[in-house]
Chains A and B, each alone.
Chain A
Amino acid sequence: AQKVTQAQTEISVVEKEDVTLDCVYETRDTTYYLFWYKQPPSGELVFLIRRNSFDEQNEISGRYSWNFQKSTSSFNFTITASQVVDSAVYFCALSVGGTSYGKLTFGQGTILTVHP
């Protein structure tokens, strides 16, 4: 069975601070996919990134960056120079290859509040 743990239930920062959201996953499969989704106050889920288990390169997209380390089963998400619009619930998720297409296992989410 798969499991995703987001250790931080809530994080509160002041605008322009950097913030890292932690994600640790468990799976016995060698082929798997990791995701981050953002859920703003409006409620919809917005896809941020997908990473497969064979690609450990870190990725940067604007103020967002992701650090994938198979050795520690972690897929952490950093927001640089946070803004109020970053306030949301962030979910880390995992799916395994083959017939589990689209069947994501979600972490419980981290509520990020960015104060002006």
Chain B
Amino acid sequence: NAGVTQTPKFRILKIGQSMTLQCAQDMNHNYMYWYRQDPGMGLKLIYYSVGAGITDKGEVPNGYNVSRSTTEDFPLRLELAAPSQTSVYFCASSPPIGREYEKLFFGSGTQLSVL
């Protein structure tokens, strides 16, 4: 049971380049999220998904896109990377409402630098 797996762990982009951050979970969780963590700050929600085919914006969605074609995968797409997108990105998932209500399981993060 791998939990939430994020790839890559580190990436350096040039301004204007694009890339996709991969996230996969093997816990059959309905809910998945993308957060970003800026230095000295808490995490902020970028996008989230309540199930395959359903996504919605979080607090800071500009410059990002997501898709959710399967329950397991929730990739985050950066188009036209900008220095302001330099951050650590965390993918998370959570089970349906129940005993572990809103307990988020986090991946290990992707450290992205845009230069």
Q: Do A and B come from one complex?
A: yes
A19 within 8 Å of B (CB atoms): no
A50 cross-chain contacts in B, Cβ below 8 A: 101-103
Chain B stretch 43-87: residues in CB contact (< 8 A) with chain A: 43-45, 48, 50, 58
A106 cross-chain contacts in B, Cβ below 8 A: 42-44
Q: How large is the interface on B (under 10, 10 to 19, 20 to 34, 35 or more residues)?
A: 20 to 34
A44 cross-chain contacts in B, Cβ below 8 A: 106-109
A33 touches B44 (CB 8 A): no
Max count, chain B CB within 10 A of own CB: residue among A43, A46, A95: A43
B108 touches A102 (CB 8 A): no
A103 within 8 Å of B (CB atoms): yes
Given the known interface contacts A43-B88, A44-B108, the answer about A101 and B102 at a Cβ–Cβ threshold of 8 Å is yes
A35 cross-chain contacts in B, Cβ below 8 A: 102
Query: What per-residue 1/0 map shows which CB atoms of A12-45 lie under 8 Å from chain B?
Result: 0000000000000000000001010000001111
A9 cross-chain contacts in B, Cβ below 8 A: 40
A95 touches B108 (CB 8 A): no
**Cα–Cα, bound, A26→B11 (Å):** 36
